[in-house]
Amino acid sequence: MREWGLTPPLWRELPEGDRELMLAESALVCPSCGNLRSYCSRPGLELYPQRDECFVTAARELALRRARSKNKQEPDTRGLHPLDGVSVWMAEADINPDDEFFDV
């Protein structure tokens, strides 16, 4: 249900027929690649790797790599490392200039 953006209460509010149809359609989709199982499970299917570039993702991965390198500390008394629970997102402006977490 989360794949459709539904919370459990919203899911339960749907008519049973709609829920069954959504589950049946979902069962046709490969959870690994997102294609129809009838497509991706064909033996001998020839596929070629393709590439897209996302510079936002690249910048986030670079920031994370630097933060991991900078924060190679032992876990604190609770067993947590400085990056545990940290999520990183990117913005066009530095909205937290006093935050030294990413400074190298």
Minimal CB distance residue for Zn ion = 30
Q: What CA–CA distance (Å, rounded) separates 79 from 76? A: 5
Q: Which residue among 30, 36, 86, 88 contacts Zn ion (CB under 5 A)?
A: 30
In the complex with Zn ion, the residue whose CB is nearer, 45 or 95, is 45
CB of 36 to Zn ion, least distance (A): 8
Q: Provide the CB-side half-sphere exposure for 88 (13 A, CA).
A: 19
Can you tell me whether residue 36 is helix, strand or coil? strand
Stretch near Zn ion under the rule CB under 5 A, chosen from 11-19, 38-46, 56-64, 93-101: 38-46
Can you tell me whether residue 75 is helix, strand or coil? coil
By the criterion CB under 5 A, which residues form the site for Zn ion?
30, 32-33, 40
